[in-house]
A and B are shown apart, each in its own frame.
Chain A
């Protein structure tokens, strides 16, 4: 079966990483705009949440799809990580950084930044998706982020996401075969802009409450 061969091959696994990565990025785009309502007012945010949950079927289908995508991304990512550790066990007496680009740190730490995002996701989902049912979510946000450590943990999670994407975004396009001198400059710029956008938009939310800007929220 061709799909099994595809999954078994090194390039096939990379395609799964890139495709699931792209879908996760697209999900983040919708998520960031929904959460952006917090910056407007607690009413706007609660309105968005209520509108979303008046469509339980949609929420259910999206949650299951996301679960499958994340599982694929995490499992294949970890398989690649273990396989590659096997290959490069013995290496050189002198170690130097051959790739002198700034984002080579991001490339080296992909599995670690990824695992931290996973930890973040677990905390995030248990806090919100499976949070208290009697408190409206717009108040629950304020409650959770009034805890200092909770806020700091969220900031760290978003920093890990930005790090992950500062290699991942470019890497995804390279895996898809998008590498052309005409577009490489644009891709390079986007690889800065995309992670930065998510960092500012997401990290702004805990900061909004932690700094007291959201006092009248």
Chain B
């Protein structure tokens, strides 16, 4: 088992009203088999022993499916490895002597609550405004009772892979939430269960997205580049079509 020694520069902020600043910590003997969050656990243990406040960060499943974790490591959301969440990023991606600058996801619509914790409830409000199906779909249907071409099912599944972590917003030069919203709109619009509400949904979710203070998309593709679930901007194109169809007929 190999170990590495690191210098960490971490954003510390007491609460959403305080200013916040970077603190520097040294951390020695980190196993390269550890995940990034386990490395932060070790740091927090060390801080607690020294009688200091541990670093607050979000996490839950630690297996890359819940969308709770996420920070910006050396300028890249979820760190240097492609298509993984921060909890699934392993320390073997780093080497002794590396300096890691760890910052919270920053965006006007994501206020910082504490250290690396940000308030992503704006995403929840986008979902609440239309990211659901209100027709009664009954129990689990028998296989193949609702015929869905497998290509369409695949596209819907690709969109449904979005875990809502917010890396897209954090990386977008405009703080736009188009990748997230488009994935949620797509996943439902593609399937027959979501079809009856697709226009209402597109209008409502885009309206909430704009109201929550996200920026305007300029097709930079930074979202797609950092997305841990490789959500494609093809979904954004689909959202644009869905929105245009909806506003011209029901807007």
Contacts and interface: CB of A to CB of B under 8 A. Distances in A.
B106 A98 contact: no
A93 B76 contact: no
**Chain A interface helix/strand/loop/mixed:** helix
A10 B238 contact: no
23 contacts: A5-B251, A10-B209, A15-B240, A80-B216, A86-B108, A87-B107, A87-B109, A87-B174, A87-B176, A88-B107, A88-B174, A92-B75, A93-B101, A93-B103, A96-B76, A98-B225, A101-B221, A104-B220, A108-B173, A108-B220, A171-B219, A178-B237, A179-B238
Q: Report, nearest first, the 4 A-B pairs whose CB atoms are least far apart.
A: A177-B241, A179-B237, A2-B251, A94-B75
B216 A83 contact: yes
Contact of B218 (A5, A80, A90, A95): A80
Contact of A94 (B101, B207, B226): B101
A99 B225 contact: yes
B175 A87 contact: yes
Interface residues of B, number: 47
Contacts of A86: 108, 215
B162 interface: no
A81 B224 CA distance: 21
B233 A84 contact: no
B243 A11 contact: yes
Contacts of A181: 234
Nearest to B244: A15
A171 B213 contact: no
Contact of A99 (B213, B220, B241): B220
A126 interface: no
Given A11-B243, A12-B247, A92 B218 contact: no
A94 B221 CA distance: 19
Interface residues of A, number: 44
Contacts of A174: 219, 233, 236-237, 240
A94 B251 CA distance: 42
A5 B209 contact: no
Interface in B5-26: 9, 22
A102 interface: no
Contacts of A180: 234
A107 B218 contact: yes
Contacts of B217: 10-11, 14
B215 A99 contact: no
A110 interface: yes
A13 interface: yes
